[in-house]
Structures are given as structure tokens and as C-alpha cells.
Amino acid sequence: MKKYYKSFCLPLFFTLSLVCLFSKVGYTQNIALGKTATANSTQNGNIASNAIDNNTSTYWQSGASFSANIYVDFLASYNFSQVSITWDGTNNYSQKVYIECSNNASTWVRVDSVMNASFDANNVVVPSSNVKPTSPNVINITNPLAKGRYLRLICQGRASSSHNIAEIDVRGTLTILPVELSRFNAISQNGGKVDISWATASETNNDYFTIDKSSDGKDFTRLAKIYSLGSGGYDYFSVDKNPFAGNNYYRLKQVDKDGTEKELGIKVVNVMLKNSGLSIYPNPVKGKSFTLNLPENSEEIINLEVLTLAGNRIFKQKYKKDSNNLKVNLDQNINEGIYLLRVNNQATIKLVVDKE
């Protein structure tokens, strides 16, 4: 594998190369150049961007602290394969550096650490004094977590002086996401329905999307399947015409052409439905028979429908009301699961069919 080293012809600088073996491509340029660097502290006008300006005569200087950090926003997701740190030549180098990655600059995953020019995968105790390396120390690792939009260096070991980094050189390959989602919404509308919409910025080898529905966020049932419109960015839309009263959980998934699926997010919508006065006993239903308790002012003719969560009707029956307690016998072909019971094409209540 091709290894990358910074120049050692300048006497005031040395380079520490940290190599993470994830890919055999992407080693040709420093992907940190032109990006944005952010540090938790600076001093003397030596700002964070000096560490990614391809100029070793400038440097980032942290505040005087045992620990300081600096991170780079790469504006897209990368598989990071190499990091090279060139320290300022004033001996203000860290005893230990942690390398972390993130997708949101909030939650970080530690992928490795370096101590005195040597990787310290087991987090060995930092020595009491700095040991300046005389040559790059290179090690290959296989950590699949070294990826994301952000890469952060946490520098430690400078109790009363600064951490000075002249240049950060990062190598890696752009992560090709099957779907880059730009929007996902679920909104309750008048009339007791929920509009579900999402948009993509790009799609690669995407076959279709699925929308699953749940009343508790745990047990989901398929609501819709929508095929990809192509490789560009598109808007998609689906409707839940029969939401539950209360919380409705909508889960969006994407499925590749090879069958690989990825969850893209979950939205929760609270739906306030008009109190129908309906109730079912028992619920869950066992034996395909149950009693539907009707309100006093219900119509004399009761049109009853059982719908799947996707809105497909699987049972329909007309009854003449002779009391407020209507005995209902379901079709024996109805499988166990969660359904919607609709009365006179208006009021809807959740129906759970269990094993006998």
C-alpha cells in the first residue's frame, strides 16, 4: 500500500503519520484543504484554519490547557484512511492525541489514539514528559468506524502551555450513500389523515422505499411501498388515510437493488380523532369473535369494515342494530395482526386479532 509522508527537510517541523487501512484509493490529495476547521480554543491570533492551509509556517495554537481539540468539517461523509500531523517546531506538541469521527459534530466515535509518535490502541497511561519523535511512526489498523463528515483530534498532555499544530493532512475516500435524504416529514391533516413526504438529494442503486406504521414505535406494519424515480433528487409522497387515535409512528426505509435495506428515520405524529364512542371487547380478539359497543345515538344500520393499516379492505358486513352491543364474527381467513375497524365509513378504532 502506498504510504504518505510529509517532508522532513525543514528542521523546525516533524510529521507524525497515522495510517488507517480502509481503502486502497483516495491517497492522492489532502481532503482537509479548503474545508472548515474549528477549535475549542486559540491564542495569539493562531486560528484553527492555519492547521489546514497547506502552509507549515502558520499553525493553530490552542489555549494553555492539558486538553484541547480541533475538528474539520469535510462537508460530506468520508472513509478516513490516513491522518498526518505536522507540529509547530517550538516543542509545543502533545503527549497524546485521540482521533474521533462524527456525522453531526455532536456524537463522536473514538477510532484510535497516538502517544509520543506511536499508536496506543489500549490507551496506555500518558508518560510524565514529552518524547519528541525522530521519524514518522506508521501503523495500519482496520477500524470500520473511521468514517463520517467530521474528524476531530483531541490533544492532551500540555498542563501549562499550548498545543501547536502546523498542518493536518487527511486522506480518505468519499462515502457513496445509496440515498442522501434532504427531507422527511409526517403531518396530521384535517379529516383524520396523515400526509407523509420525503425528498432525496441523490440516489444510487436505489430500488424502492417503504413506509411502516406503528402505534407504539415497536411493532411496525407495512403502510406503503414506493419505487425510486431515478438517480437524481426527487420528491415522494404517501398518505395514511386511517391513522390511530393518539401517537402514530412512521418509519422510512430505503432498499437497494441488491436487497440491502437502510432505515432513514422515524417520525411521530399525534392524531386527535373525534370521539366515536366505540369500543371493542375483548381487544385483542381471540377466536375471530368480539363485541362492538355502540354509542346510544348510532345509526340503525351498521356498515362494518376491517382494513389493513395500508387501507386495504379485507372484511365488510352490514348489520341491523338491535342493541348497543353488536356481536361480530370475523372471516376465518383473517390472520392475526393489527387492523382498523371502520363503522359507517366514518369512525375508526384499532382492532387487534390474536391467536386463538
Whole-number Å distance between alpha carbons of 213 and 110: 35
Q: 351 and 314 in contact (C-beta within 8 Å)?
A: no
The pLDDT score that the predictor gives to residue 58 is: 93
Q: Give yes or no for a cis peptide into 284 (omega within 30° of 0).
A: yes
pTM of the model: 0.47
The pLDDT score that the predictor gives to residue 8 is: 34
DSSP state of 49: G
Can you tell me which residue has the cell 379529516?
A: 191
The pLDDT score that the predictor gives to residue 334 is: 87
Q: Residue 51 — φ and ψ, nearest 5°? A: -80, -10
State the chain's maximal CA–CA distance in angstroms. 99
- What distances in angstroms separate CA 96 from CA 112, 138, 230, 270, 342, one per listed residue? 11, 15, 48, 49, 65
Q: Work out the burial of residue 61: count CB atoms within 10 Å of its CB; fewer than 13 is exposed, 13-18 middle, 19 or more buried.
A: buried
* CB contact set of 284 (below 8 Å; sequence gap of 6+): 352, 353, 354
Straight-line distance from the first to the last Cα atom of the chain, in angstroms, rounded to the nearest whole number? 63
Whole-number Å distance between alpha carbons of 317 and 330: 9
The pLDDT score that the predictor gives to residue 137 is: 36
Specify the 3-state DSSP secondary structure of 59: coil
Q: Work out the burial of residue 267: count CB atoms within 10 Å of its CB; fewer than 13 is exposed, 13-18 middle, 19 or more buried.
A: middle
Domains in the chain, CATH or no CATH each: 14-174 (2.60.120.260), 179-271 (2.60.40.10), 279-353 (2.60.40.3080)
Whole-number Å distance between alpha carbons of 40 and 51: 14
Q: Please give the helix or strand (H or E) that residue 335 lies within, else none.
A: none
Q: What is the mean pLDDT of each run of 10 residues along the chain (356 residues)?
A: 36 42 50 95 96 93 92 88 79 79 89 57 32 38 77 84 87 82 91 90 90 90 94 91 86 90 91 74 87 84 87 88 87 85 80 83
* CB contact set of 35 (below 8 Å; sequence gap of 6+): 52, 72, 73, 74, 75
Q: 38 and 70 in contact (C-beta within 8 Å)?
A: yes
